[in-house]
Amino acid sequence: MEDERIIELFFERSEDAITLTAQKYGAQMKRLALSITGCDEDAEECVNDAYYAAWNHIPPDRPKNFGAWLMKTLRNFSNKVWEKKNAEKRRGNTAELTKELEECIPDAGSVEDEVFARELSKKLDRFLGSLPSKERKVFMKRYFWSMPIADIAKEYGVPKSRIATMLFRTRKKFGKMLEEDSYEGN
């Protein structure tokens, strides 16, 4: 079913909207939540929270890309659960991924944070659009889907070192692009 029709069902306040969302995105959502939380029960709760958020926000919201909106909402819930469970530890997969990407993102300063985040999102979209398909997919699997490097390597049938090197080089390219953009903006 097309996302536009599912959104219309949300606007009609039809419970079929949740059922169809679960049919279309449920397995993908569960994988994402599980990769972040590491726990079946927490993942299931995050998925349900995302469905509930969709019910409460559509309407009035009308997401242009429903799948992306849903996954972003789910990631937010999953990250909050992970942070709560790991408040004292402050280590693990999400912290590792964040640290990897922080190397290429300059500090914006507290006053400019919201504007900076919007601009960074646009630059990331542009950067991802410039990448070859395989490189873009690997980057997304690692940093959006939180897939371990070993799983990505297995999926592509290559050694882990090749994926790690590809990700390192992609982060460097992204950092260089951000640097060049900041010089052009000044």
Q: Which residue has tokens 């972040």?
A: 36
Say which CATH class 3-85 falls into. mainly alpha
pTM: 0.59
Q: pLDDT of 33-66, one tens digit each?
A: 988 888 899 999 999 999 999 999 998 889 888 9
The full set of domain ranges for the chain reads: 3-85, 93-185
Question: Do 3-85 and 93-185 show the same overall fold?
Answer: no
Query: Span 66-77, mean pLDDT?
Result: 90
112-141 burial string, b = 16+ CB within 10 Å, else e? Answer: eeeebeebeeebbeebbeebeeebebbbeb
In this structure, which topology does domain 93-185 adopt according to CATH? Answer: Butyryl-CoA Dehydrogenase, subunit A; domain 3 (1.20.140)
